[in-house]
Structure 1
Amino acid sequence: MRWVGVLARLVVGGVWIVAGALKLPDPTESVRAVRNYQLLPEAVVPFVGHSLPVLEILVGLCLLLGLLTRPAAVVSAVLMGAFVVGIASAWARGLSIECGCFGGGGGPVENATAAYPWEIARDAALMLASLYLVWRPGTPAALDNIVFAPTYDGDPVSDS
């Protein structure tokens, strides 16, 4: 069962890195995608649009490397939850926009609503994998095992 966590780290981390890397070259597209959801105040849209790809890459790297796994998984689960809510909200309000999940400006697209169930299912599955890592962050082949390894050598520690 310990290798389930490794698989979750690699899949979710890989998705984050790809998503962030595809958005990073053109931050205006990312800002446009955030804006098209019509959920955030305009004052915060540019900040979210510019910072989201960087955050996605950082979370992805942490998960791939198994470094700060639980905090990275918490951020991952929260982001995936927000994406599920965003896509469901767009669907409920009749917006037909590209999700912008893997680059692109998330602009109006004819019949984009047909993709919403798949996008919600994908993000929900990634959120569940992230929550698994919140619950069981300890996995083999993780830098956490080296960086945060116990230093106890078996000798009693004296307080004197």
Structure 2
Amino acid sequence: MTDTLDDTPKAPTRWETIQPWISLACRLGLAAVLITAAVTKYPPALSIQAVEAYDLFPTEVARLIGYTLPLFELALALLLLLGLATRYSGAVGAILMVLFIAGIVSAMARGLSIDCGCFGGGGQVDPEETSYGVSIARDVAFAAMGAFVAIWPRSPFALDRVLGLYR
């Protein structure tokens, strides 16, 4: 009787070969974006000014967000850089970008003329200086990077891999 199961290892598909590298690029790219965003929001007064310009929250809540957002971005960037809790870090990064998009769309819909404050700055600007479309498109790309990492978290140079945390 012959065994119908083929025990010979199969060569990885093209996707199985390139996916980890795409995930690595997305993971490190999103981490770099978050680090840049966090660093350019200091001193905290800049971040607070940017959050208050959206006119979405009471002053005290806007101040709390202004103080904590850069720290949150740095913590998330660190997780992505290390490749720790990669699936969750990617998902949180994607959700954060969707929240940023919602804020920008809200400002645009209400006719506000503000700088998004994404990379420092923020506050009122001349109506011709607004770049909502560019900011939204950029954040959509960043959200896609986070979603890619959340869906396909396996990547080289990740602590998740070393610790055996991939499922």
Which band: TM-score by shorter chain? Answer: 0.7 to 0.9
Structure 1: distance between partners of 2:165 and 2:146: 23
Task: Give the structure 2 partner of residue 133 of structure 1.
Answer: 149
Task: Give the structure 1 partner of residue 137 of structure 2.
Answer: 121
Task: Give the structure 1 partner of residue 82 of structure 2.
Answer: 65
Residue 61 (structure 2) aligned to one of 15, 27, 44 = 44
Q: Summarize deviations over 1:23-42 as a string: whole Å, max 9, x none.
A: 1x310110111010011232
* Structure 2 residues without counterparts, runs of 5 or longer: 1-18
Task: Give the structure 2 partner of residue 156 of structure 1.
Answer: none
Residue 85 (structure 1) aligned to one of 102, 112, 115 = 102
Structure 1: distance between partners of 2:57 and 2:95: 16
Q: Summarize deviations over 1:28-79 as a string: whole Å, max 9, x none.
A: 1101110100112323111111000001011111112211111211211111
Q: Does 1:6 align with 2:13?
A: no
User: One-letter code of the match for 1:64?
Assistant: L
Q: Secondary structure at the match of 1:44?
A: helix
Report the count of equivalent residues: 147
Q: Does 1:143 align with 2:156?
A: no
Structure 2: distance between partners of 1:74 and 1:49: 22
Give, in angstroms, the shift of residue 100 of structure 1. Answer: 0.7
Q: Secondary structure at the match of 1:43?
A: helix
Structure 1: distance between partners of 2:20 and 2:86: 14
Give, in angstroms, the shift of residue 98 of structure 1. Answer: 0.8
Structure 2: distance between partners of 1:91 and 1:44: 21
Structure 1: distance between partners of 2:81 and 2:99: 22
Give, in angstroms, the shift of residue 17 of structure 1. Answer: 0.6
Task: Kindly report the root-mean-square deviation, in angstroms, between the aligned alpha carbons of the 2 structures.
Answer: 1.4
User: One-letter code of the match for 1:76?
Assistant: G
User: One-letter code of the match for 2:62?
Assistant: V
User: One-letter code of the match for 2:63?
Assistant: P
Task: Give the structure 2 partner of residue 100 of structure 1.
Answer: 117
User: One-letter code of the match for 2:36?
Assistant: V
> Residues 4, 61 of structure 1: CA spacing in aligned structure 2 closer, same or farther, 3 A cutoff?
same
Q: Summarize deviations over 1:88-111 as a string: whole Å, max 9, x none.
A: 11111111111111112x111112
Give, in angstroms, the shift of residue 149 of structure 1. Answer: 5.3
Give, in angstroms, the shift of residue 148 of structure 1. Answer: 3.2
Q: Does 1:22 align with 2:17?
A: no
* Structure 1 residues without counterparts, runs of 5 or longer: 151-160
- Identical-residue share of aligned pairs (%): 43
